[in-house]
A = this chain, B = another copy of it.
Amino acid sequence: MTTTRLKGVLAPVITPFHADLSVDKARLVAHSRWLISQNSGLALFGTNSEANSLSVEERMELLQAVVEAGLPPARMMPGTGCCALPDSVKLTKHAVSLGCAGVLMLPPFYYKGVSDEGLFRNFAEVVERVGDARLKIYLYHIPPVAQVPITLPLLERLSKAYPQTIVGMKDSSGDWSYTQSVLTGFPHLDMFVGSEAFLLAGMRGGGVGCISATANVNPAAIHALYASWQAPDADAQQAALTATRTTIQAFPMIPALKATRAHYAKDPAWVAVRPPLVALTEKQRAELGTSLEARGFAMPGLAG
């Protein structure tokens, strides 16, 4: 366990697959090691990790593999929020038992239009059933995908009921007015913006960092802005980060991240995704590679 709160940049670590679509532990460990070397923490099993395309057992095996490889649980915030309460409890207990500094928790996302009361009970049951003072939960607000929001009244109720456990949020709403409401109304919560496009604004507003898709490929530069957000060139750094993100985001994000990793490591195995996602075509991969090279984009130390 750690007593230090997570902060800075974390990558929702992309999950590599073998050709038969089974999980590729060795590549996951290698990528995680590189991310740590680039000052990125590991938000394993996020949206960009295809977490919900993995079974509970696969998620536990992969987390175990990354921890056993010697990577620091103090820099890990695995996703553990599922539709089914027993799954969320099992994954959360497992993450806490391995010493992970926190967990990122989606609301149950099958039913739509559910009440805050029902969502409160879901999170409360997880907290009570895990029953471990080490547990630190970051609520995952991503209405464009989950379609089930963490409303401000829910956030207030949860953070009051479990002030030692509900310690922060990842906000992937893309809605700055929501982010600002949390920053202003809940200064005791640690706010990670869900995209580095909001990193500078987030830091200026009292946030603690970002958990962003593109931290999988551009971690050092994102960390540099995090570490120097009060420097005179911060706006210029932000503009450069956003431009790189835009280049990648011209393609579907998850396949594009994997294609970028494949391109710079000259390791085409990385392009595999599980259905319902679809890998970029050869043509798209070539176009993305050309666009990134034209920007002078690099992934230093990747072989290391």
Contact = CB atoms under 8 A, between A and B. Distances in A.
Interface of A: 21, 47, 52-56, 58, 83-87, 90, 107-112, 114-115, 117-119, 121-122, 125, 144-148, 274-278
Nearest to A109: B110
Given A52-B110, A110-B145, A278 B117 contact: yes
A1 B86 CA distance: 32
A85 B47 CA distance: 16
Contacts of A278: 115, 117-118, 121
Contacts of A87: 55
B112 A145 contact: yes
Given A52-B110, A125-B275, 16 more contacts: A52-B84, A52-B108, A55-B56, A56-B56, A83-B83, A84-B274, A111-B277, A112-B144, A112-B145, A114-B276, A114-B277, A117-B278, A118-B278, A122-B276, A147-B147, A148-B276
Contact of A112 (B107, B108, B114, B147): B147
28 contacts: A21-B125, A47-B110, A52-B83, A52-B84, A52-B108, A53-B83, A53-B85, A53-B108, A54-B86, A55-B86, A56-B56, A58-B86, A84-B274, A108-B276, A110-B145, A111-B145, A111-B277, A112-B145, A112-B147, A115-B276, A117-B278, A118-B275, A118-B277, A118-B278, A121-B275, A121-B276, A125-B275, A148-B276
Contacts of A276: 107-108, 111, 114-115, 118-119, 121-122, 148
A55 B88 CA distance: 10
A108 B147 CA distance: 14
A85 B87 CA distance: 16
A87 B274 CA distance: 13
A54 B56 CA distance: 12
Contacts of A54: 84, 86
Contacts of A277: 111, 114, 118
